[in-house]
Amino acid sequence: MSMITPMDDKGIAAAAKALRAGELVAFPTETVYGLGADATNDHAVAGIYEAKGRPSFNPLIVHLPSAREVARYAEMTEIGHKLADRFWPGALTLVLPRLKKDRLSKLVSAGLDTVAVRVPAHGGARDLLRVADRPIAAPSANASGRLSPTEAAHVAASLGEKVTMILDGGPCKVGVESTIIDASGDRPTLLRPGGIAVEAIEDCLGVTLLRAASDDHAPKSPGMLSSHYAPGLPVRLNVTEPNAGEAWLGLGDCPSATLNLSPSGDLREAAANLFIMLHQLDNPRFSAIAIAPIPETGLGLAINDRIRRASYL
Ligand code: TXA
Ligand code: MG
């Protein structure tokens, strides 16, 4: 059973240290409890997906202590600025273009060139973000398919042994997840209704939001698929002997692989490397990206989901 720790100065200092060391820490925000990891650390971010048992790599929200800090990682668009001024800190998440040298793990945004960012209103959460001094990726701290947790005990019941620490800040005031707005372009789009009313957002912007189907589940339409990073080259799966001219992305014992997701076959290491290596191999000097078989266990499910989608496009 993992440690439920009071969210006082001592608890926050210990949690910040654990986050900086690449460990997972559950912490309260005003919406729901989040499962946090250092968003600049690929291995730590892979740990989030492993702990949640997510069968796919849903992009994650990056939490920061101030709008000023957000501007180090994401491009503040005009719409983003307006909404941030009005609703941050608070239950609003903005999807914005990633900055080129943002240092964020590619796994955080599942290879997309946008990133979801939020400045929470919860004082303890902001203290934690300040002391940790890292951007913190955090999905809701529940196992995949379970309800979002609004008390430390919910997190313990759902993820107990999988996190280093659970900071207990009492029940969450808002109790539903943040509203997510895609503010990356000039047509603001509602991606998920949540803690901030849509009317308030439309009132602030003076326009009606476009509506997108919820992004929380596997994309249902090819249009949603296209929003995910897909290599320009054709992708072939379950390849044990690549053709001449193909890049071979190996796993485990593949001595002639162009790159290897994890020579020891560690699926968490493989997840941490997946998007980085797909980008590296997506080069016209190759005819295709051939990917070695990935076991359908643990994070292998999410890796296979992702590369299967890449191979359809
Ligand atoms: O209130 C909340 O938002 C909580 C607390 C912990 O902050 N977090 C939360 O995270 O609900 P999660 O992972 O359960 O939901 C994140 C949502 C997903 O639906 C994901 O698809 C969407 O954000 N998302 C993240 N990055 C995105 C991006 N670049 N483009 C579009 N959608 C994105
Ligand atoms: Mg969730």
Residue 19 within a domain? yes
Nearest-5° Cα angle at 113, 258 to 202? 160
Residue 226 within a domain? no
pLDDT of residue 222: 33
Per residue in 109-164, pLDDT tens?
998 999 999 999 999 999 999 999 999 999 999 988 888 899 999 999 999 899 99
Residue 228 within a domain? no
pLDDT of residue 229: 64
Ligand 1: residue whose CA is nearest its atom 31: 95
Same domain, 208 and 288: no
Among the bound ligands, the one closest to the CA of 148: 2
Same domain, 132 and 49: yes
Per residue in 37-65, pLDDT tens?
999 999 999 999 999 987 788 999 999 99
Same domain, 59 and 208: yes
Q: Is 150 in the pocket of ligand 1 (CB under 6 A)?
A: no
Residue 303 within a domain? yes
Same domain, 212 and 252: no
Same domain, 27 and 130: yes
Where are the extended beta strands (E) located within the chain? Answer: 3-6, 25-28, 33-38, 61-63, 92-97, 114-118, 136-137, 165-168, 179-182, 189-192, 210-211, 235-236, 247-250, 259-260, 289-291
Instruction: Give yes or no for residue 194 having a pLDDT over 50.
Output: yes
Q: Please check if 114 is assigned to a binding site.
A: yes
| 85 burial via Cβ count (<10 Å: 0-12, 13-18, 19+) | exposed
- Residue 201 belongs to domain with CATH number: 3.90.870.10
Residue 202 within a domain? yes
Q: Is 34 in the pocket of ligand 1 (CB under 6 A)?
A: yes
Instruction: Give yes or no for residue 225 having a pLDDT over 50.
Output: no
Same domain, 155 and 75: yes
The number of folded domains in the chain is 2
Q: Please check if 227 is assigned to a binding site.
A: no
Same domain, 74 and 196: yes
Q: Which atom of ligand 1 is nearest to the CA of 120?
A: 7
Same domain, 212 and 240: no
Q: Please check if 192 is assigned to a binding site.
A: yes
Same domain, 107 and 19: yes
| pLDDT interval class at 216 (50, 70, 90) | very low
| pLDDT interval class at 232 (50, 70, 90) | confident
Same domain, 164 and 63: yes
Neighbours of 298 (CB within 10 A): 16
Instruction: Give yes or no for residue 67 having a pLDDT over 70.
Output: yes
pLDDT of residue 54: 79
Residue 229 within a domain? no
Q: In terms of residue numbers, what domain contains 179?
A: 3-220
Instruction: Give yes or no for residue 80 having a pLDDT over 50.
Output: yes
What's the whole-number average pLDDT of the chain? 91
Query: Final residue of a domain: which of 176, 197, 220?
Result: 220
- Percent of the chain surpassing pLDDT 70: 93
Query: Final residue of a domain: which of 163, 186, 220?
Result: 220
pLDDT of residue 215: 45
Same domain, 197 and 251: no
This prediction has a pTM of: 0.88
Of 15-19, 208-212, 269-273, where does the model show the most confidence?
15-19
Q: Which of 64-73, 109-118, 270-279 has the lowest mean pLDDT?
A: 270-279
Same domain, 146 and 203: yes
Query: Final residue of a domain: which of 220, 254, 288?
Result: 220
Instruction: Give yes or no for residue 191 having a pLDDT over 50.
Output: yes
Instruction: Give yes or no for residue 2 having a pLDDT over 90.
Output: no
Residue 50 within a domain? yes
Neighbours of 70 (CB within 10 A): 24
Distance 43 CA to ligand 1 centre (A): 19
Residue 301 within a domain? yes
